[in-house]
Chains A and B, each alone.
Chain A
Amino acid sequence: MTLALMLEQLLNGVQFGLMLFLMSAGLTLVFGVMGLINLAHGSLYMIGAFLCAAVAGATGNFWLGLMAGIAAAAAAGALIEVVVIRRLYDRDHLDQVLATFALILILSEGVRMVFGPFPLYLNVPDMFRGTVNLGIVDYSLYRLALIGFGLAVAVGLWALIAKTRLGIRIRAGESDREMIAALGVNIRALYTVVFALGAALAGLAGALVGAIQSVQVGMGEPVLILAFVVIVIGGIGSIKGAMVGALLVGVIDTMGRFLLPRLFALFLDTSQAMGVGAALASMLIYLLMALILIFRPKGLFPANG
């Protein structure tokens, strides 16, 4: 096991974590501001990926596709918010879970009706093809670009929330919903904007990841579950928590899958070690989540104190 291999796996973990952050940021914002559990967030990720693949395929331009993916996810988010989600803010979590579970069924089947049952494949944009030399290892330029994208969005999101009027309202909404309504902020519009913003981030993640993997119905759900793990670990409602949680989950998951089988190979035979190692590695982040919830029931960075 060389240093170069460790570094490459670490980068893979960070890249995975940052894509998880894009997913989690929207999820945690929506919960923090509106108190809503949105299981359909993975569907918005899927919509972003499909629209990006379709538009990029038709025009041959990845960036146009990316814009289309983000716009479609944001529009779908706004539409869902106005038609369905708005009615769920006052409901208990059970109703929210179910209604958004229903939305998953509707959106997945809807996308299947429009795009068919086959996966779509997106090409990596030309400027990010190939590899870049990082001293001891060649690393995929596109994956490196994903890390850059993720960090840029994180900074942008921080600036939006810390420095802009919208950000002030979002923060006010997190701490006291009735108060900002009383202060004359159009709370309905604010909610729609926040939801669409979260949806756009999910769509962005879907489109970016779609270019290296495949774009298919159901691609959003595994990521959704991981994003929930992220925000629960980080503390629901906290963007900072989502960032820390996403990096933790991304790196621990990647390194666990890579290192645990090797660890067990020290005292088991190879095939047994592969089996036990893989079994434990795939449970690792859920174990982490359960431990964190047991010892810090509100996550690492609880929002609102």
Chain B
Amino acid sequence: MARRASPLMPRLAVSAVAIIVSTPRGGISTKGAGKLYFSPNLAQDCDQRSDNQGDGDKMKSFKHAALAATLAVGTVSMAQADTVSVGMITTLSGGGAGLGVDVRDGFQLALDMAGEHNIRLVVEDDAQRPELAVQIAERMIQSERVDILTGIIWSNLAMAVVPSAVAQDILYLSPNAGPSALAGANCHPNYFNVAWQNDMLHEGAGAYANELGYENTFIMAPNYPAGTDALNGFKRYYEGELAGELFTQVGQTDYAAELAQIRASGADSIFIFLPGGMGISFMRQYEQSGLDLPIVSAAFTFSQDMLPAVGAAALGVFNASQWSPDLDNDANQEFVAAFRAEFGRIPSLYASQGFDTANLILSAAAKADVSDRDAFRQALLEADFASVRGEFAWGPNQHPIQRVYIREVVEVDGEITNRIIGTAFEAHSDVHGENCNM
């Protein structure tokens, strides 16, 4: 066994590096550290699998898989000289998996719809654990040699990964998390947030709570950077009294103690930020608790990834969002139709953010060579792509300035989904940009 250890180590290089395979559509798919993504589209999936296996054996004869990867791209796609390597670290297992899967699917869909392109994508599951995300980022930078990192869902994981990655001259494009620390003093030319700064949608919820006449709201969020940002964002615009303020644990599944405190607080309404599995668990227990207070929220807690599991309990809830499946613009209608055709479900806002992120990268890759970081950053700043949210503009801290809508959870043709009923802010930007000196 010990003597075998020596030949084993070089082979690690092969297994740890993504192997690139051409797909029938002409796009580039990847098979990397084993935790990679296969499209649920079955026909394509089978093709990819067989291709992967066929090429996988050949690949093993290469001593350096990184070299092999370059060769494969050179011979297969050959249209562009320079491939953009994108590492996606996202949550694909556990209570937060719905969000990561949607970001990944939206991103992949944009690549598929673009047809011929020069993006190499490696996807890996962070299981919503910061220490794991840090390790994956290190491997993607050192072993996969990615140019761009993206995909992180949770702000605490973003805080662990992003500062060190951008310092190593890796571009980071956030498709979801937007912690205030990275929007203000710690902003960085290599960090672009394609979704929103965390506070933004909660500010919309706060403003709308005033409009609804709520005067005594109980507010609650998980204890991590996005939770703090959520409560701060809500309080920045909300003018009524607070019946209570609670931080819960990240990933918490039992909310009996919180429900008891809400019941005892005499609140007239509730504001919650509980994305993914947390929101599902909370809403199901809320339904059983006998409490019947109106809920106002941001899109995260009433997003399409969780509405089927929450069911009728969510109907009538108002939530603030920069995007909605019924948003009426060409890019969005095309996206929603293609997503439904490909995956058989309505896209969530996470899917829309993944889709926009991929299209932003594609637009920059068409203009600039990624190895010239200055030029590529400039191309990203031009934002020359059709965002599914409509107009897209960068603020000074490289976070979007955008319209914030109010949506209502409704049932349409037997499906529970969101519908836009109004606008909270036009051209809204976050408050942290003024602390950013780039």
Contact = CB atoms under 8 A, between A and B. Distances in A.
Q: Which of B257, B260, B284, B309 has the most CB of A within 10 A?
A: B260
A5 B264 contact: yes
A177 interface: no
Interface in A202-216: 212-214, 216
Contact of A112 (B93, B247, B254, B288): B93
A140 interface: yes
Given A112-B93, A213-B253, A214-B253, A5 B290 contact: no
Contact of A214 (B95, B125, B223, B288): B95
Interface string B285-301: 10011100000000000
B260 A274 contact: no
A237 B261 CA distance: 37
B124 to A, nearest CB: 13
Q: Which of B254, B280, B289 has the most CB of A within 10 A?
A: B254
Interface in B114-152: 125
B264 A212 contact: no
Nearest to B278: A214
A216 B288 contact: no
A33 B98 CA distance: 43
A213 B284 CA distance: 8
Task: Give the dominant DSSP class at A's interface.
Answer: mixed
Interface in A101-154: 112, 117-119, 121, 124, 129-131, 137-138, 140-143
Given A213-B281, A217-B93, A140 B290 contact: yes
A43 interface: no
Given A119-B94, A217-B93, A8 B281 contact: no
B388 interface: no
Contacts of A258: 257, 260-261
A141 B253 CA distance: 18
A118 to B, nearest CB: 5
A143 B256 contact: yes
A212 B254 contact: yes
Contacts of B288: 124, 129-131, 140-142, 212
Interface string B247-262: 1000001101100110
A270 B284 CA distance: 29
A4 B263 CA distance: 9
Given A4-B264, A117-B93, A118-B98, A214 B257 contact: no
A218 B95 CA distance: 11
A240 interface: no
A287 to B, nearest CB: 19
Given A121-B284, A121-B309, A131-B290, A254 B94 contact: no
B97 A12 contact: no
Nearest to B265: A5
Q: Which of A4, A8, A217 has the most CB of B within 10 A?
A: A8
B247 A274 contact: yes
Contact of B289 (A9, A118, A140): A140
A5 B277 contact: no
B159 interface: no
B272 to A, nearest CB: 17
A116 B413 CA distance: 29
Contact of A138 (B247, B254, B284, B290): B290
Contact of A216 (B94, B256, B257): B94
Contacts of A129: 288
B247 A119 contact: no
A28 interface: no
A2 interface: yes
A15 interface: yes
Interface string B226-247: 0000000000000000000101
B260 A12 contact: yes
Contacts of B401: none
A283 to B, nearest CB: 14
Given A5-B264, A130-B290, A131-B290, A119 B95 contact: yes
Q: Which of B97, B253, B277 has the most CB of A within 10 A?
A: B253
B263 to A, nearest CB: 7
Contact of A117 (B97, B281, B289): B97
A257 interface: yes
Contacts of B257: 9, 12, 254, 257-258
B289 A216 contact: no
A270 B246 CA distance: 11
Contacts of A130: 288, 290
A216 B281 CA distance: 12
A232 B223 CA distance: 31
B92 interface: yes
Nearest to B266: A2
A245 B432 CA distance: 49
B39 to A, nearest CB: 16
Contacts of A16: 254, 256
A270 B277 CA distance: 28
B264 A121 contact: no
A8 B260 contact: yes
Contacts of A118: 93, 97-98
Q: Which 3 A-B pairs have the closest CB atoms?
A: A131-B290, A117-B93, A213-B253
Given A212-B254, A258-B260, 20 more contacts: A4-B263, A5-B261, A9-B257, A117-B93, A117-B94, A118-B93, A119-B95, A119-B97, A121-B309, A130-B288, A131-B290, A137-B263, A140-B256, A140-B285, A142-B288, A212-B284, A212-B285, A213-B253, A214-B95, A219-B253
14 contacts: A4-B264, A8-B260, A121-B309, A137-B263, A138-B290, A140-B288, A143-B256, A212-B281, A212-B284, A213-B281, A214-B280, A217-B93, A217-B94, A219-B253
Interface of B: 92-95, 97-98, 125, 223, 245, 247, 253-254, 256-257, 260-261, 263-264, 277, 280-281, 284-285, 288-290, 309
